[in-house]
Structure 1
Amino acid sequence: MSSNTVAQFATELKMPANVLLEQLRAAGVDLKSVDDAVTDSDKAKLLESLRRAHGATEGKKITLTRRQTSEIRQADATGRSRTIQVEVRKKRVFVKRDPAELAAEQAAARAEEAAAEAVPAEAAPAPAEPVRAEPAVETAAKPVEPPVAEAPAEPVAAPAAEPQSEQPAQAEAQPEPTPAAQAEPEPQPEPQPEAAPAQAVAEPVEPAKNVSVTETEAEQARPEPVVHAQTELTSKTPAPVAQPSAPAESPKSAKAEPAAAPKTTAKPGEIRRAAAPAAPDRAREEARRAAEAEAAALREMLSRPRKVLRAPEPEPQAGALSGTLHKPAGKPATTAAPKKDAKPGAPGAKKTIKTAEVSSTWSDDSARKKPADNKPAVTTRDGWRAGGKGGRGGRNSRNQHQDRRHEQVQQEFIAREIHVPETISVADLAHKMSVKAAEVIKQLMKLGQMVTINQVLDQETAMIVVQEFGHMAIAAKLDDPEAFLDETAAVTEAEAEPRAPVVTVMGHVDHGKTSLLDYIRRAKVASGEAGGITQHIGAYHVETGRGVVTFLDTPGHEAFTAMRARGAKATDIVILVVAADDGVMPQTREAIHHAKAGGVPLVVAVNKIDKPEANPERVKQELVAEEVVPEEYGGDVPFVPVSAKTGAGIDDLLENVLLQAEILELKAPIEAPAKGLVIEARLDKGRGPVATILVQSGTLKRGDVVLAGASFGRVRAMLDENGKQIQTAGPSIPVEIQGLTEVPAAGDELMVLSDERKAREIALFRQGKFRDVKLARQQAAKLESMFDNLGEGTQTLALIVKTDVQGSQEALVSSLTKLSTDEVRVQVVHAAVGGISESDVNLAIASNAVVIGFNVRAEQSAKKLAETNGIDLRYYNIIYDAVDEVKAAMSGMLAPEKREEVIGLVEVREVYTISRIGTVAGCMVLDGVVRRDSQVRLLRNNVVQWTGHLDSLRRFKDDVKEVKSGFDCGLTLRGNNDLQLGDQLEVFEIKEIARTL
């Protein structure tokens, strides 16, 4: 009896050894450990036990129900979007076939095998070397695994294999007829084994290698049906266990092994199928049923006698093959092969029996050789060849077989986790889900979005599409390099030291903020600003007797809200300037709100106290109403009366500011990489992008690599507020830096990085992210507003805005965009920092836009191009001038208002009917005047009967243009003859009146 250990048997069955040991004990087999031997009778007991345990209790049907709920946003006919709940229900039923039907099919298949193999029963395998038992067991067990796809070919290939192998098998069988007869102790017929047993045991290698040899044969051997018969034989023959005495036997007994082995009762394949859980059994059962159905169709085509009737060419005797493709005599399992000079197209060339050794040795050559013209090439392991061209089982059948196999593969669905970034193109999304882009486009069309393959989707839409395809959508930032910044911030922690306070001066326009700063700085800044109003954030630091103070001067004009908010964000203390003669104004209230939102302490400077109409008490009362309570009223806000003109109270103001700073205990690390805030940025024609930076912590040095928003660069030059070169700047010091790649946005955070490559990577990532998000939002806005604008005659005023600094651009664009109405819309096509260039004018030509330059001028070439093409270039240096002129231009684009004005009243006193003219009314003008081109309204008993135009107007017999009050006249109406005595005609005109915004 053959035996192996529990561990080896578990490896064959691909299951844990301890689980197999428990199942063996449950079956009544007394084994102590995984190293004990397992006999064939033990395997039979295990198989019977597992069949008893699983066979009767298996369910016949499994139903899988899946429900998914999702939300989609869809626009209705009015353009408003609404949310729709979508529930998707899916139901799938798996049914297991009756074992009785399967048994009947297997019996029919065995009967056909018996009939097909009755003829070559006397043939025997070629002489082989002494065989080892264990590799044979392993090899025989391996092909039972589900991945082996040749199983369907078993009943098919046996009939086709007979005529090809008949001659060489008989030639080899002649020297040893007796062992062949002894090799069949049972009458059960089975397929002619030919080279399969020899291949399986040709070399004592590991089982996986034996399987790969069989696969190589399936690809390389020319007689394809023979190969499939051999491969199937290893999986279907009921003799996997060899005798333990095999190594000592002669070649004669070695040949008898494959045929004598049917006495074994339990097959490892059956045991493994029985031991596996129910779900894999059902899957394997379905695969086997599908394979049998294919095999039945193919068997019908291939069992026709076409190939049997072909006259085979005489093969040389076995002894004559010694000089051909055989291995040397020392190697086992050598069999016959065709002559080297055999023609590829000859029938004898097809009847080759390649062993594993020959097939693996010559596989490279055969792969390189081009197949013969009259033979179809072997495609894959699952492919097969059924004769020459033109036959019934030729290329079409093979294509049908492959099509059926592909259909089975496409039915499998694998739910994946799809990581969806903030923006993703349709093509990339399809690639992530392993579907065609056309399927994604189709799904989006069902959701109401028309997209192209390269269009960028926002994250929300992409996640809905992923869920519609049945996958799990995960909102993710997979490769965000900005995580590096958090790591850097955690590492660099230095000791904090006291720093100077940052003070922001805020207040209403023309209340004297800049003049106050001028007196403190002893410099004339206000005179340099256009119109006497501040339009930039100014940053200065002043050295006083008690220390350094950094001042930020913000604009007071209402357009600069964002700039004031930035000033409050970067500051420690706010000086609120209120004019004593003007009181609390809108921007004063806004500045109070900014300071409170930032949690910044206030110091109120009541300015212009030198004026005779100054009333500081009224200012205090108004500020108390805004919840700013002076210290003398029991609050916490210092009030300091000052005069920027005479300098009264300035020292008290600085004293209060420094007192507040001491209370706050302001500290910042000095010996650390610098961090700061972009206060202002501009594009200088000679120096490139220039940014005003307020250093908040650390020390900024010349040559540092900095990252500010989506721009980066190395600090090439550093200037203080007076334009002098400096090398370093500590906390609370404002500086201008040069060397950035582009103009950063005002309000961006600036930080110093050690690695320029990392800075470039983060900047480029931010640029791409900003561009993608902007594109996705624009696309969404277009889709939502498409129906809103349909059929409406909305006028559009296109503008291109170029300013000197980033903050002014932001304020100007915001102010101009707010001017839009339902009838005239302001569209800022392009806004940037810098002079007006030729490309700006070209863009204006393409978009029919007006170019606005704020504190900038056009290049000479741009001026000529604008004059040639009639483009309007407008220059401004005060923001409200620009806003007022754009408002006037929009007013000119408004449709004029039409008003009706009654100019006269006429009474009908006589009615005449004249042929060829119609009805003529003799009238008296009671009031006003009647003109010939006027419109009239016919009133009868003060009820309007008709409205239209006069056809003619006469006084006596003359045509006249108008008739005044108190005179009579004759008139006819255009298209109306229904006139009666006593009717009145109301004469009116429609005037067009220009509208204003």
Structure 2
Amino acid sequence: MSDIKVKDLADTIRVSPEKLVEQLNEAGISVSKADELITEEQKQTLLQFLQQRHGVADGKDASPRKITLKRKSVSEIKLGGGSSRSGGKSVSVEVRKKRTYVKRTPDEAAATELLNQQQAQQHAEELAKQEQLRQQEVARKQQEEVDRQKEAEAESAAVAAAIEAEKQASEEARLAAEEEQKALAEEAKSQTAKKANTEKTEPKLSASQLAHKKLEEADAKRRAANLARVEAEKALEAKRKAREEEEALEKAREEARQATVDAQAKEQKTDRKDTDTRHGKDKPARKGRHDRDDDFERKELHVREGKAGRRKKKKAAAPQKTPVLETEHGFSKPTAPVVKEVSVPETISVGDLAQRLSVKSGELIKSLMGLGTMATINQVLDQDTAVIVVEEMGHIAKPVQENQVELALEVSEEQVGEAVVRAPVVTVMGHVDHGKTSLLDYIRRTKVTSGEAGGITQHIGAYKVETSRGEVAFLDTPGHAAFTEMRSRGAKVTDIVVLVVAADDGVMPQTIEAIQHAKAAQSTLIVAINKMDKPEANPDRVKQELSNHEVIPEDWGGDVQFVPVSALTGEGVDDLLEAISLQAEVMELKAPVKGPAIGTVVEARLDKGRGTVITALVQRGTLNKGDIVVVGQEFGRVRALFNESGQQLDTAGPSTPVEILGLSGTPAAGDELQVAPDDRTAREIATFRQTKAREAKIARQQAAKLDEMFNKMEEGDVKTLNLVIKGDVHGSVEAVSQGLQKLSTEQVKVRVVGSGVGGINETDAQLAAASEAILIGFNVRADNAARKVISEKGLDVQYFSIIYDLLDVVTKAMTGMLEPVYKDEIIGLARVDDVFRSPKFGDIAGCLVLEGVVKRSNPIRVLRDNVVIFEGELESLRRFKDDVNEVNAGTECGIGVRNYKDVKPGDQIEVFERVLMKPTL
């Protein structure tokens, strides 16, 4: 039935029933209560209505076109009036912001792009017009300057002429004054010349009068020249002041025009930046305390010269014109949401991603918490998480692969020659002590097991054997359960898996694991039933048990070859080699010999005299002495090549296991070996891989911190055994670490605080001392400096060569860390028949011992209706009037319970003792 109640649908989609009823009514579905039923068609109608409301049409993108962001910030303001000690009163101020962003369609984006291009073209035309006007203005100013200079020269010439005229007038006045003085002197000398002129003629002026008249005329001329000079200087000063005022006004106009041009340029720059952002040309945002939540360009606030410069120009004689105030602010808020195209690498920190999104780190962390991810600003996010959070914040994520540097290792088709037949790679697997290494030993006529501790192979061995049917590359893997990872690596590089099963032992746990690894690697399986020389050998039992794991023999109608062999006598070994050769011919194994070599690291170790030594299996191409190789996170030049017999080689072709010297460090078993074109490329690739591995490790550690914290809270007081493990080869160290960590229980956890390849050095000892760990050396020993630290710190050091002993010792150490366990064992039970009053001992219970024995020194429990009501110890134990230490079954006695006075007839007194039990994991 498709009908459903409104409240049930509200619970399913996690909204309130009232809101769902409101949405149904808005969609045209008449619903009044939450208990009403709605049909499937009505649900579809509601879905279409909600999609249309959010801007989603049929067949289009289902992502919302609108998103509303709400932000709330609370601050506190302290008011005056309070004492300094109390801090005064405080008022909480809450600011709420709400912004809605609309996602544009591709048509709208194209229209916006066209509009931006038109605006850019208009802006270019305006700039060209402004440049033309500016050039015209410059020419006009130059012409005005020339005219001004000519006018100033004319004014200066007029002033100079007035000054010269004044000088001439002064000189004439001086000469006139001298003539007047001479005339007066001459008149004083002529005392006798007083003749009366009787003739009636007009009187004539005397010489002194003429001189005085000339003097007056000269003074008048001098005053006129002086006045002309003063007028000329005043006119010149007035023009100079007028020119200064004009220059000030022009400067103010120029500043206003330049401010307008700058504002238009900044606005155009903002538009161009938004356009570039839409096209993915974004730049990382600036760091700092002024980062904004929105995608705005940073503006600078300047103080106009008209305001700040008034203080400096206050002393000017002429008043300056008030500059025009600009009403347009330099900060312009975008009218539409800015959608960025963010390049997301494989790993990126939260801080870097926030810069690329131009948001605060806190906003990004809040979004991550909303998605269920606890993160810090320095935490490294993987690519998938970063893409999700970028899309969640309304931007476009573009995943970027950062392994471009590794493309230099790719081999072109011209470098690869024609594929030729190669030797098969055979991996020998099976349970421990089923004869894998003994079988290989017989094939290659060497005693490999003689060099192994306890006759057990502790790490992978690679050998190339020359048989009558051609060459075969063998990989021998350990059979112990702790080396599951090592066997897994062996299965990944192999063509044929030879599963060795002891005829007298049958299928064991590691045999089943080997079958699983072979199937996972899709390798052909051949079963070698070993130890056929023993009387108790039963091959039919082996076939029956393997058939339960989908390994069907050929004679039973299956596709798996079963070959009975004996590694001790050599029986069936030729048949096994023939089966391998036949299977290889059927598989048509080929690999190119020409071109750079590609291989896989089988094992890696640190040799004291030769440095890093790796065992690698070349899978294609030819590895030459002197090649520059990249192996995982390490690189180096091949200084020497050795085969399994220790003989030096110059080249190694496909399906050839070799030992390589010359790497910069110890790679992990299973890493890929590739030949690089030059040393610089190899170094760059190795550095890139190390950086990526370090970032991934940090990401895992930070992601596990919160889980580890919660685990510690749940576990409570869980004991932890810290270990520092050093081994001879990388595979052994990894396998031992995993085997020890699997020993962890709910009571005791095993924690490997440090591990590595090589002997125990001083750093390892210091680490063990700081973490209170046990030092474990697997086929390695401590050097002199480490032994000194071990002696001073009193550290516990354990050396092992066989993993069985290592696991047993660690298990005992974990058992010793457990708290002692006590068990209550009931030894006697007595029934209370009556209670007597004693003035000395109080209430005495008259009891009959039903079973066991009642001892005075043991603790007791008082039971009433088979329920424990008191637990304590005896005050007294009497048989008649005598104090006794114990009373056996079937005997009456008097019992006084210490600090308990509520014993009643019918109660039972249970006597027990605490037995210390040996703690177990």
TM-score range, shorter chain: 0.5 to 0.7
The answer to whether the aligner puts 1:655 opposite 2:578 as a matched pair is yes
How does 1:884-903 map onto structure 2 within 5 Å?
A: 884-903=808-827
Q: Which amino acid aligns with 1:807?
A: G
How does 1:443-458 map onto structure 2 within 5 Å?
A: 451-458=375-382
Deviations 1:488-542 (A, max 9, x none): 3555321112222212222221111111111111111112111111111111112
Q: 1:211 to 1:948 in 2, by over 3 A?
A: farther
Q: 1:432 to 1:974 in 2, by over 3 A?
A: farther
CA distance in structure 1 between the partners assigned to 2:436 and 2:868 by the alignment: 69
Q: Which amino acid aligns with 1:591?
A: A
Q: Percent identity, aligned pairs only?
A: 53
Partner of 2:532: 609
Q: 1:721 to 1:207 in 2, by over 3 A?
A: same
Q: Which amino acid aligns with 1:952?
A: E
Partner of 1:236: none
Shift of residue 596, structure 1, vs aligned partner: 2.9
CA distance in structure 2 between the partners assigned to 1:524 and 1:619 by the alignment: 27
Partner of 1:752: 675
The answer to whether the aligner puts 1:385 opposite 2:297 as a matched pair is no
Equivalent of residue 207 in structure 1, options 129, 146, 154: 129
CA distance in structure 2 between the partners assigned to 1:216 and 1:973 by the alignment: 119
Equivalent of residue 444 in structure 2, options 503, 521, 524: 521
Partner of 2:642: 719
The answer to whether the aligner puts 1:761 opposite 2:684 as a matched pair is yes
CA distance in structure 2 between the partners assigned to 1:93 and 1:475 by the alignment: 24
The answer to whether the aligner puts 1:938 opposite 2:862 as a matched pair is yes
Contact 1:336 1:352 in 2 (8 A): no
Shift of residue 695, structure 1, vs aligned partner: 0.7
Q: 1:546 to 1:973 in 2, by over 3 A?
A: same
CA distance in structure 2 between the partners assigned to 1:143 and 1:713 by the alignment: 55
Determine helix, strand or coil for the equivalent of 2:462. strand
The answer to whether the aligner puts 1:870 opposite 2:791 as a matched pair is no
Q: Which amino acid aligns with 1:937?
A: R
Deviations 1:807-853 (A, max 9, x none): 11221111111112222211111221111111111111121111211
Q: 1:485 to 1:385 in 2, by over 3 A?
A: same
Shift of residue 899, structure 1, vs aligned partner: 2.8
Partner of 1:879: 803
Equivalent of residue 546 in structure 1, options 466, 469, 485: 469
Q: 1:381 to 1:216 in 2, by over 3 A?
A: farther
Deviations 1:258-281 (A, max 9, x none): xxxxxxxxxxxxxxxxxxxxxxxx
Equivalent of residue 516 in structure 2, options 586, 593, 600: 593
Q: Which amino acid aligns with 1:798?
A: N
Shift of residue 464, structure 1, vs aligned partner: 4.6
How does 1:209-224 map onto structure 2 within 5 Å?
A: 209-210=131-132
Q: 1:458 to 1:501 in 2, by over 3 A?
A: closer
Partner of 1:477: 401
The answer to whether the aligner puts 1:988 opposite 2:909 as a matched pair is no
The answer to whether the aligner puts 1:790 opposite 2:713 as a matched pair is yes
CA distance in structure 2 between the partners assigned to 1:472 and 1:212 by the alignment: 44
CA distance in structure 2 between the partners assigned to 1:720 and 1:318 by the alignment: 111
Shift of residue 675, structure 1, vs aligned partner: 0.8
Contact 2:344 2:387 in 1 (8 A): yes
Partner of 2:895: 971
Shift of residue 756, structure 1, vs aligned partner: 1.7
Contact 1:566 1:679 in 2 (8 A): yes
Contact 1:67 1:90 in 2 (8 A): no
How does 1:249-264 map onto structure 2 within 5 Å?
A: none
CA distance in structure 1 between the partners assigned to 2:677 and 2:753 by the alignment: 38
Determine helix, strand or coil for the equivalent of 1:787. helix
Deviations 1:137-193 (A, max 9, x none): xxxxx9997899xxxxxxxxxxxxxxxxxxxxxxxxxxxxxxxxxxxxxxxxxxxxx
- Output the aligned Cα RMSD: 4.3
Contact 1:68 1:89 in 2 (8 A): no
How does 1:415-494 map onto structure 2 within 5 Å?
A: 415-441=339-365, 451-478=375-402, 480-486=404-410, 488=411, 492-494=415-417
Determine helix, strand or coil for the equivalent of 1:923. strand
Q: Which amino acid aligns with 1:677?
A: T
CA distance in structure 1 between the partners assigned to 2:871 and 2:490 by the alignment: 65
The answer to whether the aligner puts 1:857 opposite 2:781 as a matched pair is yes
CA distance in structure 1 between the partners assigned to 2:133 and 2:370 by the alignment: 49
Contact 1:215 1:381 in 2 (8 A): no
Shift of residue 635, structure 1, vs aligned partner: 3.6
Partner of 2:730: 806
CA distance in structure 1 between the partners assigned to 2:497 and 2:677 by the alignment: 35
Contact 2:347 2:382 in 1 (8 A): yes
Q: Which amino acid aligns with 1:885?
A: V
Contact 2:409 2:674 in 1 (8 A): no
CA distance in structure 1 between the partners assigned to 2:419 and 2:875 by the alignment: 96
Shift of residue 349, structure 1, vs aligned partner: 8.6
Deviations 1:562-616 (A, max 9, x none): 2222222212222222222222222223323333333322332222222222223
Shift of residue 702, structure 1, vs aligned partner: 0.8
Q: Which amino acid aligns with 1:578?
A: V
Equivalent of residue 601 in structure 2, options 668, 678, 683: 678
> Could you state the TM-score of these two structures normalised by the residue count of structure 1?
0.61
Larger Rg: 2
CA distance in structure 1 between the partners assigned to 2:514 and 2:802 by the alignment: 22
Q: Which amino acid aligns with 1:548?
A: E
CA distance in structure 2 between the partners assigned to 1:434 and 1:964 by the alignment: 88
Q: 1:908 to 1:553 in 2, by over 3 A?
A: same
Contact 1:318 1:336 in 2 (8 A): no
CA distance in structure 2 between the partners assigned to 1:634 and 1:869 by the alignment: 66
> Could you state the TM-score of these two structures normalised by the residue count of structure 2?
0.66
Contact 1:955 1:968 in 2 (8 A): no
Shift of residue 969, structure 1, vs aligned partner: 4.4
Q: 1:607 to 1:479 in 2, by over 3 A?
A: closer
Contact 1:213 1:356 in 2 (8 A): no
Contact 1:603 1:639 in 2 (8 A): yes
Partner of 1:817: 741
Bigger RCO (CA 8 Å, 6+ sep): 1
Contact 1:676 1:694 in 2 (8 A): yes
Determine helix, strand or coil for the equivalent of 2:522. coil
Determine helix, strand or coil for the equivalent of 2:306. coil
Q: 1:953 to 1:457 in 2, by over 3 A?
A: farther
How does 1:16-27 map onto structure 2 within 5 Å?
A: none
Q: 1:628 to 1:479 in 2, by over 3 A?
A: closer
Determine helix, strand or coil for the equivalent of 2:655. coil
Unaligned runs of at least 5 residues, structure 2: 1-54, 57-63, 70-96, 104-118, 142-146, 148-230, 259-299, 313-321
Deviations 1:460-504 (A, max 9, x none): 444454345432233332464223334x35553211122222122
Determine helix, strand or coil for the equivalent of 1:938. strand
Partner of 1:186: none
The answer to whether the aligner puts 1:507 opposite 2:424 as a matched pair is no
Deviations 1:689-728 (A, max 9, x none): 1110111111111110101111111111111111122111
Unaligned runs of at least 5 residues, structure 1: 1-62, 71-87, 95-141, 149-199, 218-229, 231-250, 252-313, 325-334, 339-346, 361-378, 392-397
Q: Which amino acid aligns with 1:996?
A: T
Determine helix, strand or coil for the equivalent of 1:427. helix
Deviations 1:543-572 (A, max 9, x none): 122322211111111222222222222122
The answer to whether the aligner puts 1:738 opposite 2:674 as a matched pair is no
Equivalent of residue 845 in structure 2, options 921, 935, 941: 921
